[in-house]
Amino acid sequence: MTITLILVIFLIFFVTILLIIYDIGRRLIKNFKYKKLDFYRSIYLKELAEKFNSSSDIDQFVNFYKFHPTSLRGQALQEVLIKLSHNFEEEVKLFFKKLGYQEYHEKAIFSKNSIKRGIAFKILGDLKIQDSSIKIINTIKNEKNENILLTACMSLVKIISEYQIEEFLKILINKSENNFLSYKSVSLIMLSLLERFNKSAINVLKRELSSDKINDTTKSIFLESLYYIDYEDDTLKDIAIKNLSSDNPELIAKSLKIISKLKISEDDVDFSKILYFLNHPLWYIRLMAIKALKNVFNEKLIDKMVPLLSDNEWPVRLEAVNVLFSLPINIVIKKIPEWLDIKDNFARDTIVEFILKHNWTDKFNHMIEKGDANLKQQITDISVIIKNYYNFNFPIAQS
């Protein structure tokens, strides 16, 4: 027993000493390494910037820099090249290729080591090595690691050509539908793609959206991406309207979101379809339906909107009051007493908060100054109602 205890103590003591020695040794080595890295970085940055600036023939100096990519010098060189690529994109690409680094990283994307793969994807993307796009596309078809996939796709977005968009989208759809990428990851990739290619990507995207081959979740991600870019046309309108008949709530919400962005008229869409969603059990669909109606909202639709002032969810109430107050001011003033007559406290609170927050009191004063006796009376009535409910005066009550 005693011997066992002594052995255990010595073993723990020995391991502790080893850890201390390792800590100190590692710090010594790392400090030395970082100093060297800093030194190489500063030298290469200066040298290469001068050489690329003077348009020297790369073949003349490439041999001086042929270090293994994992060596300290190689590491420093690659970091410098990424930095310089912003100003000397083509020169850096050619230099990178002649150094043999492109070949090295193109091999690394097949590595079993996920870190090696990830770093290779990132470097090829950061340096915008278009030549590697086919290899990366082929590799990611079999990639199942979600983190690597996100990095690879983000890199691909930077390097693919227009003709590869369709193939890339098909892979993305496949990864999304097989749950290898999260909803937000796909959304991030799509937005980057749309930002880079704009119309050419939108056209491919619209084709995919029009087909019935992709599932509703992927469709809703694509529609959401389209919402955030500055683009609108009739096809998009048709796609959004068509998807309103879906059973998938996310897809309905995103379609309504797209409609809210487009300038639609009564001829474009059967309003009863959108009005139906004002009573949908899911709050975010009700919210999107209000937003979709905002551009075409008129007096005839007031009755449909007023019940939403009493909605359980504050974003819905707020959007409803926002839409109602977008009507011409004389109609709003006429209707406010009716709306303030709603029994639900939160509905009344939302209206009063909107009046105060959006400086409607100034608008009221302005109307009073115009001198219309009828309007003045209506506004005074409003202020009296509010005072009765909330026991505070706002400027109109005193005027």
Partner 1 sequence: MILKYLNRLKYAPLYEIIRYSSSPPISIIISAYNEENTIINTVNSAKKVNYPFLEIIVVNDGSTDKTLDLLIKNYKLKKSIFFIYRQKIKTTKVKGLYYSELYPNLIVIDKEQTGKADSLNCGINVSKSPYFCSVDADSTLEKDALLRLTRKIVESRTPVIALGGVIRIVNGIKVEDEEIKNIELPRKCLPVFQIVEYIRGFLFGRLGWETLKGSFILSGAFTLLKKDAVIEVGGFLPNTVTEDLEIIARLHQHYRLKKEPYYIGFIPDPVCWTEVPEKISILGKQRRRWHLGLLQTLWIYRKMLFNPKFGKIGMLVMPFYLLEALGAIIETLGYPIVILSYLFGLLNIQFLILFITLAIVYGVFLSVGGIFLEEMSFKRYPKWSHLFRLLIYGVLENFGYRQLISLFKFMATFQFLFGYKKWEYVHKKGKK
Site residues (vs partner 1, CB under 8 A) = 2, 5-6, 8-9, 12-13, 15-16, 19-20, 22-24, 26-27, 30, 115, 118-119, 121-122, 146-148, 150-151, 154, 179, 181-182, 184-185, 187-188, 191-192, 224, 228, 314, 346, 349-350, 352-353, 356, 390, 392, 394
Task: Assess contact for 230 and 239: CB atoms under 8 A.
Answer: no
Q: How far is the CB of 1 from partner 1 (least distance, A)?
A: 9
Q: How far is the CB of 118 from partner 1 (least distance, A)?
A: 4
Q: Which is nearer to partner 1, 11 or 374 (CB)?
A: 11
> In angstroms, rounded to a whole number, what is the distance separating the alpha carbons of residues 305 and 320?
6
Question: In the block, which residue shows the tokens 């974003």?
Answer: 315
Q: Which is nearer to partner 1, 136 or 301 (CB)?
A: 136
Q: Which is nearer to partner 1, 115 or 134 (CB)?
A: 115
Q: How far is the CB of 111 from partner 1 (least distance, A)?
A: 13
**Cα distances (Å, whole numbers) of residue 56 to 44, 95, 98, 301:** 15, 11, 14, 71
Q: Which is nearer to partner 1, 67 or 228 (CB)?
A: 228
Report the amino acid identity of residue 167: E
Q: How far is the CB of 119 from partner 1 (least distance, A)?
A: 5
Q: How far is the CB of 116 from partner 1 (least distance, A)?
A: 9
Q: Which is nearer to partner 1, 179 or 374 (CB)?
A: 179
- Closest C-alpha to 252, from 281, 229, 220: 220
**Cα distances (Å, whole numbers) of residue 88 to 56, 75, 121, 277:** 13, 19, 21, 53
Q: How far is the CB of 42 from partner 1 (least distance, A)?
A: 20
Q: Which is nearer to partner 1, 98 or 122 (CB)?
A: 122
Q: Which is nearer to partner 1, 42 or 182 (CB)?
A: 182
Please provide the size of the chain in residues. Answer: 399
DSSP states of 248-311: -HHHHHHHHHHHHHS---TTTS-HHHHHHHTT-SSHHHHHHHHHHHHTT--GGGHHHHGGGGG-
DSSP states of 35-90: HHHHHHHHHHHHHHHHHHHTT--HHHHGGGG---TTSHHHHHHHHHHHHHTTT-HH
Task: Assess contact for 63 and 74: CB atoms under 8 A.
Answer: no
Instruction: Give the distance from CA 346 to its chain's centroid.
Output: 32
Q: How far is the CB of 191 from partner 1 (least distance, A)?
A: 4
Q: Which is nearer to partner 1, 75 or 102 (CB)?
A: 75
Number of neighbouring beta carbons within 10 Å of residue 323: 19
Q: Which is nearer to partner 1, 85 or 185 (CB)?
A: 185
> In angstroms, rounded to a whole number, what is the distance separating the alpha carbons of residues 129 and 81?
12
Q: Which residues contact 1 (CB under 8 A, 6 or more apart)?
A: none
Q: How far is the CB of 327 from partner 1 (least distance, A)?
A: 22
Q: How far is the CB of 54 from partner 1 (least distance, A)?
A: 32
